[in-house]
Amino acid sequence: MAAAYELRCRECGKRFDNAPLSICDECFSPLEVICDLEAARGTFTREAIAAGPSSMWRYKSLLPVPEDYKPVTPAGWTPLLPAPHLAERIGAKNLYIKNDAVCMPTLSFKDRVVAVALANAQTFGFDTVGCSSTGNLANAVAAGAARHGLKTYILVPSDLEPAKILNTQVYGATLVRIDGNYDHVNRLCSQIADRYSWGFVNVNLRPYYAEGSKSVGFEIAEQLGWRLPDNVVCPMAGGSLITKIRKAFKELIALGLVEEKEVRFFGAQATGCSPISTAVKNGADHIEPQRPSTIARSLAIGNPADGVYAARAIRQSGGWAEDVSDVEIVSAIQELAETEGIFTETAGGVTTAVTARLYAHGRIHPDDLTVTCITGNGLKTTDALAGVYDQEAAIRPRLTDFEAYISQKNDEPELVVEGANVR
Ligand SMILES: *Cc1c(COP(=O)(O)O)cnc(C)c1O
Ligand SMILES: [Zn+2]
């Protein structure tokens, strides 16, 4: 039986059999997985999906894994939550949060892409896998490889957050810290993958890895009752996630699972690493690489592999991109936690701050149905909030002490911090 998916060059269209390949040998453009939609027509139905597992594997027939693949990691199927309090703060009326801060097993959306990449590592017979990572991918690969029983080498920039380093080492992965930024690390990984024939999830397995992000789009549509939103706001690092949510929506339209509609895509970056949002704002066709300098380390890719495609998708959809400062990121992390009870990492601070700005600037209409993608968990980047909250002296366990504490608290003048939100 022919595989229901194959690799195709994004530029010249050359077709390739399934293999650990990411670049076209004719034109050196990136390869992409194309799933056979006609073959999926019988299995990818609302009823079959509803009867599937409570994980991203309910969409298995449109993910690039063998038909008889038995899922190892139940990633995905995260909550889509109405966000009325945040909406009120920022002038929105119909705002939802796709909350991958609680994605299993390592608390970021990277668990989705890794689940698909490791399924393929298994198919291709690799016994050793690895990745270059800004942090969350390292955690997801380390955990996933432990479940799959694979050896793991993970390369990261040396300035990674301590929690992301610990969350990699605990799974028994070999963590190699590189004295350089993500772009240096990534280049080295390409060379290692060639030399040692290992499966690097975001290098030679990248086309398969990237398809895992479609599950975010499938879930949003299903959780809205098989409807598409008007807008999606999505953080961008390499620029893959935003393009794959859009691809998922297009596949759902092609299969008749949702009504046809052009969803506007809005990209979010940190100003300290904003090659894609800059290209969108300038109307440029190419990406000018940057040297990253931001607390949003999970998004700090200065030369994004899918940047051109992300910028193109945003423009074609009628959307926009914005970038925000580190001060705005911290304040947005607090705002999301205080209004909706969701503690996100710096990337979610970026997305929340950008969402607020898009409403403030009238780029998004208040009545629109908008989904904001929160992609990672705040417990991994607690250093971003270092010094923000005082550790007060303990009081004695007496009611009088408590009353004195409360009255003193109420006497305190309002603290005004320059650049922070006034509450
Ligand atoms: C990797 C990552 C992203 C961006 O993903 P790309 O597909 O590379 O654009 C967004 N948020 C978090 C938390 C991430 O770890
Ligand atoms: Zn080509």
The pLDDT of 305-324, averaged and rounded, is 97
Residues 219 and 233 reside in one and the same domain: yes
Q: Which atom of ligand 1 is nearest to the CA of 210?
A: 7
Does the CB atom of residue 348 touch ligand 1 within 6 A? no
Rounded to the nearest whole angstrom, what is the distance from the C-alpha of residue 62 to the centroid of ligand 1?
21
Q: Which ligand is nearest to the CA of 30?
A: 2
The answer to whether residue 204 is domain-embedded is: yes
pLDDT in tens, 253-285: 999 999 999 999 999 999 999 999 999 999 998
Can you tell me which atom of ligand 1 is nearest the CA of 235? 10
Per-residue pLDDT for 141 more than 60?
Answer: yes
Atom number of ligand 1 nearest to Cα 310: 9
67 domain residue, yes or no: no
Say if ligand 1 is within 6 A of residue 375 CB: yes
**282 is a domain residue:** yes
For 77-95, the pLDDT digits (tens) are: 999 999 999 999 999 999 9
Q: Which atom of ligand 1 is nearest to the CA of 244?
A: 7
In-domain check, residue 207 = yes
Residue 416: give the domain boundaries: 391-422
Q: What is the pLDDT of residue 194?
A: 84
Calpha distance 278→259 (Å, rounded): 32
DSSP code of 155?
E
Domain count, the chain: 3
pTM for this prediction: 0.95
Q: In this structure, are residues 339 and 86 in contact, taking their beta carbons and an 8 Å threshold?
A: yes
Q: In degrees, to the nearest 5, what angle opens at C-alpha 268 toward C-alphas 77 and 239?
A: 70
Bridge partners (DSSP) listed for residue 153: 130, 174
CA 326 from chain centre, in angstroms, equals: 19
Whether residue 60 lies inside any domain: the answer is: no
Asked whether residue 170 falls in the same domain as residue 265, the answer is: no
Domain termination residue (choose one: 193, 212, 231): 212
Confidence bin at 159 (pLDDT 50/70/90): confident
Q: What does the pLDDT read at residue 423?
A: 42
* Helix residue spans in 99-198 (DSSP H): 110-123, 136-148, 162-169, 182-196
Q: What is the CATH number of the domain that holds 179?
A: 3.40.50.1100
Q: Is residue 50 part of a domain?
A: no
Same domain, 401 and 365: no
- Cis check: omega of the bond before 229, within 30 degrees of 0: no
d(CA 268, CA 276): 9
| Nearest listed ligand to the Cα of residue 235 | 1
- 342 and 230 in one domain? yes
Q: Is the CB of 275 under 6 A from ligand 1?
A: no
Please report the pLDDT score of residue 422 as a whole number.
43
In a domain, 35, yes or no: no
pLDDT at 234: 98
Residue 181 and residue 158 in one domain: yes
- Best residue among 78, 269, 298, 350 to mutate for probing ligand 1, ranked by most atoms within 8 Å of CB: 298
Specify the pLDDT at position 391.
83
- The verdict on the CB of residue 374 being under 6 Å from ligand 1 is no
3-state secondary structure of 299: helix
Same domain, 103 and 119: no
